[in-house]
A and B are shown apart, each in its own frame.
Chain A
């Protein structure tokens, strides 16, 4: 359970998050909203890149904002980035291992096992020892997911992981995302503009618009909510 209370973020004159109060119940949660709604900003607050002007985030009764940025991953907050940030000069294995050795406990042998497990889980075993620079954008998306779920994450933040993926790959990704909570025990927050992906993965979804919470609840209900439709239509007109 992730409890967000009165969270506000200000960038100069822009209020990117405006007194957001919201509880992610656990499992797979969707977070949707038009461009500039504040989705990535919420992730950035949770990763420690952005300091909110007000509000707090509690996960398992711990105040997340009290933990130093690089320690959050160790504590269990992991993420992917909207523009992929894989380490181009390292192999696929090394990319995932780097996260594991800094963010997770474990001996050398356990490390190798769990990294290889994750690579098999996301379907990257074949390219395990390839340098990322030589791989496709599609592979990078899956490497990012592997980096976010290796070890024992408590919270996995996926920022548009399906962007740029062809349809059949999106289905494969949906399968992976669906089984992350069961596999790791983590709460997943999925941001994506692809509503069918959100629907396929998430039982529960929250909607942001202009930094404000518009709706939250079971995904099917939320997607038919008038206010949500209005937010998206408004976005198209703008």
Chain B
């Protein structure tokens, strides 16, 4: 059974295992600290990208709102990391769990609308969450509900797990969590929910006629996707540690996210790694060394355009295959 789950078409297990071993044991000795920091970010981002890619590629739900559970997972985990001694893996599960609840709320409109309207509604909900996070701010070692320090000298870094204080150890921790999250996604995709999603994606009438509760499975998809993004958020706080703002979770980040996900490809979970590579390694590298920071905004916008064009071409091809263009 386990063998079957991991040999799902979405994710070739041997390549995945090889990649994980490479990341855990080879990368820390190949790359310097700056690169390891960037690759940590890539591993975190790949989970968010996978959540978007899964929703769109597997269920056909276009969500521009996945930055919301990402941000909420970050907020909850950071706050609890300062306030409690709860072991980190459990903290992440709590952050993911709270994010999943928000994800279900974001999913509710999906039961009524789809396509462009769903994209707009989820984007608006994400903007709402952005505003709330901007008001709350992220805890930095202070007292009270928000956990905000009153003076600069009272500020503290987001604590990391005791077993992963250093950057390399934390990188390894993030890689392992990312692997677990990817395996979770594959386990869902390769079993009953995954088949139900494929059915909903193909045709909702056909899914209903097969006895599938379209409502329930759409919500389940949003819940799982939000959990994935929430756990990623939980890892993000302790990755950056200092002065965390909303820029990872705001509307620009939301558009950028869907664009790189489309560029990476939504056909398989590998696309999420590619998307994360674009977003956290390649594009920052290009801005630093080729394009220059002052052009970052134009550049991001161009990327968004390219992502949309790729999507358009893919959709047209798919429609053509189904004979919908005649």
Contacts and interface: CB of A to CB of B under 8 A. Distances in A.
A147 B210 contact: yes
A103 B209 CA distance: 9
B184 interface: no
B260 interface: no
Nearest to A43: B209
Nearest to B215: A70
Nearest to A144: B206
A87 to B, nearest CB: 5
> What is the interface residue range for chain B against chain A?
10 to 19
Nearest to B190: A94
Contact of A89 (B202, B205, B213): B202
B66 interface: no
A85 B200 CA distance: 11
A212 interface: no
A148 to B, nearest CB: 9
B133 interface: no
Most buried by B among A74, A79, A81, A89: A89
Contact of A73 (B195, B201, B202, B210): B210
Interface residues of A, number: 27
Given A49-B208, A101-B192, A70 B202 contact: no
B199 interface: yes
Most buried by A among B192, B208, B209: B209
Interface string B184-204: 000000001001101101110
A49 B202 CA distance: 16
A79 B198 contact: no
A103 B211 contact: yes
The binding surface of chain A is classed by DSSP as helix
B105 interface: no
A48 B208 contact: yes
Given A70-B208, A70-B212, A74-B211, A102 B198 contact: no
A95 B201 CA distance: 13
Interface string A94-111: 100111011100000000
B214 interface: yes
Interface string B208-226: 1111111000000000000
A81 B205 contact: yes
A78 B206 CA distance: 10
Contacts of B214: 70
Nearest to A101: B192
Interface in B213-272: 213-214
B205 A49 contact: yes
A183 interface: no
A120 B170 CA distance: 53
Contact of B205 (A47, A87, A98, A147): A47
Contacts of A70: 207-208, 211-214
B210 A103 contact: yes
Contacts of A97: 195
A130 interface: no
Interface string A112-150: 000000000000000000010000000000000001000
A27 B208 CA distance: 25
B208 A98 contact: no
A94 B195 CA distance: 7
B247 to A, nearest CB: 36
B10 to A, nearest CB: 10
B208 A47 contact: yes
Nearest to B10: A89
A90 B206 contact: no
Most buried by A among B202, B205, B210, B214: B210
Contact of B211 (A49, A88, A99): A99
A47 B209 contact: yes
A86 B201 CA distance: 11
A71 interface: yes
Given A49-B205, A101-B192, A87 B199 contact: yes
A70 B210 CA distance: 7
A79 B205 CA distance: 11
Given A87-B195, A90-B195, 6 more contacts: A70-B208, A70-B212, A81-B209, A85-B205, A99-B210, A99-B211
17 contacts: A49-B205, A49-B208, A70-B207, A70-B208, A73-B208, A73-B209, A73-B211, A85-B202, A85-B205, A87-B195, A87-B199, A88-B202, A89-B202, A90-B195, A98-B195, A101-B195, A102-B210
Please name the 6 residue pairs, one residue from A and one from B, whose CB atoms are nearest each other, closest first. Answer: A103-B211, A73-B211, A85-B206, A102-B211, A99-B210, A85-B203
